[in-house]
Amino acid sequence: MNKVYYPRLNEALYSTVLKNGLKVYMVPKADFQKTYCVFKTDFGSIHTNFIHRDTNEKISFPQGTAHFLEHQMFAMEKNKDAGDYFASLGADSNAYTSYDETAYTVTCTKKQKEVIQFLLDFVQKPCFTAQGIAKEKKIILQEYLMYQDKPNNRLHYDLMNNLYWNDPLKEEIVGNEESIKKINKKILLQAHQFLYHPQNMTLLIVGHLHVEETLQWIMDNQNGKQFSPCPPVDIKTPIELLSIHKEFNQFEMDIFSPYVAYGIKINPHLYKKFNIIKIDYIMKIILEQLFGSSSDTYQELLDQDLISKRFRYYAHITNNSMYIAMQSDSKHPEQLLNYFENKFLNGRRDELQEANFTRIKKGIIGSFIKSMDDVETITHGILDALTLNCDYFNSLDILESITMEDILLVYDVIKNSPHTKVIINPKKVAKKE
């Protein structure tokens, strides 16, 4: 295996690619009792349209296919469940579907060989039945309908619809009522064949492990299986405009207090000026300076009853899309949105003070170093960085390289980027005659 040692962190990352194309990464932690494994495919909710490289045939899956497939993968023969088998080994298992990946996770402190090999087995051997799919469809439809009653979920996706014209970020990860009903056994098997091939998958293990021994377990498992050639399909990415789709939208729900969201769409080509992980950290520092719990702005918004303790802000940073968002329930929604607009459109550079920048940057560096004691944080940090073609363990050097000039440059980009607003109002009660 290839080994990269990071002396400042005293960490080592081992990696190799097996003959079948499976990418394997390991980070041994000698003093840890726990082992955390993630087996993931580069197939997320935004991946619904593909083109066959040889025939130019267009292949489409309904929205929500990746999420539906994730749920179905735990089904085994004789009505058994993969999660129950992991539990019998003393391991905790889980799975999730995001915009750009589906991942199967397992944590254990013993029987690592059995756990790792079963993780590979159940993900690589689907067991779909018409009865199981019909049952799961009802569950996922209920899940979708439940999300429609959650204001924060509606707020997020309405904000995405305002920001984007064509980007599948605007579609819900679970799909919609119509698309979920379209998913069947044939679609799930085709999606698994195309996108769960070892060449499209990554296995990452962090924690208590012996590298060579663990690699041998993995190789023995994979060498005992036959895989068809990886289907030559490419993701068809829609063309997205730099402008926003809508400047404003509002609607009503059964809620007690209004909810608002404010979003800023940023040209993703910003990553050509900086390492994309550096952009992510810069965005975090800017937002923390402007809206963090220790900022004057945060206290001012609370004092004026413009936000609640549920106020949140975040940045979404990938090679293809970037935005920042703020959202909260608010007694004065229009006033809050005007505050955000003034803060960004008319904000002054001197609001970003050098002393606050230094303090926040040191705090993030400290949190990063402390995260080396958490196997889950390390694992998902590595996976996120791999998706961005970056090295997670270089984050310390990247953080230390950030200057106040970098902060101001990106702040100017944010100020000059298109903004959008969303309000959810409580439903009006009809007056009695």
**Residue 207 clears pLDDT 80, i.e. is over it:** yes
Task: Give CA–CA dist 347/289, Å, rounded.
Answer: 13
What is the distance, to the nearest Å, from the Cα of residue 195 to the centroid of all Cα atoms in its chain? 18
What is the band of 269 on the pLDDT scale with cuts at 50, 70, 90? confident
Q: Mind listing the pLDDT tens digit for each residue in 22-76? A: 999 999 998 999 999 999 999 999 999 999 888 889 999 999 999 999 999 998 8
| pLDDT for position 102 | 98
pTM to 2 decimal places: 0.94
What is the band of 219 on the pLDDT scale with cuts at 50, 70, 90? very high
What is the band of 270 on the pLDDT scale with cuts at 50, 70, 90? confident
Q: Mind listing the pLDDT tens digit for each residue in 380-390? A: 999 999 998 89
Structure tokens given for 289: 């300076």
**Residue 147 clears pLDDT 90, i.e. is over it:** yes
| pLDDT for position 79 | 82
What is the band of 431 on the pLDDT scale with cuts at 50, 70, 90? low
What mean pLDDT comes out for the span 121-139?
94
412 residue type, one letter: D
| pLDDT for position 138 | 95
User: What is the set of domains in the chain, with CATH numbers?
Assistant: 2-235 (3.30.830.10), 248-426 (3.30.830.10)
CB atoms within 10 A of CB 176: 15
Where are the alpha helices (H) located in 27-129, listed in sequence order? 65-72, 82-88, 112-124
Cα(first)–Cα(last) distance of the chain, in Å? 78
Closest CA to 34 of 109, 138, 115: 109
**Residue 303 clears pLDDT 70, i.e. is over it:** yes
Name residue, tokens 């996108």. Answer: 195
Closest CA to 109 of 90, 85, 95: 90
| pLDDT for position 82 | 94
- 413, 268 in Cβ contact below 8 A? no
Q: Mind listing the pLDDT tens digit for each residue in 374-423? A: 999 999 999 999 998 899 999 999 999 999 999 999 999 999 999 999 99
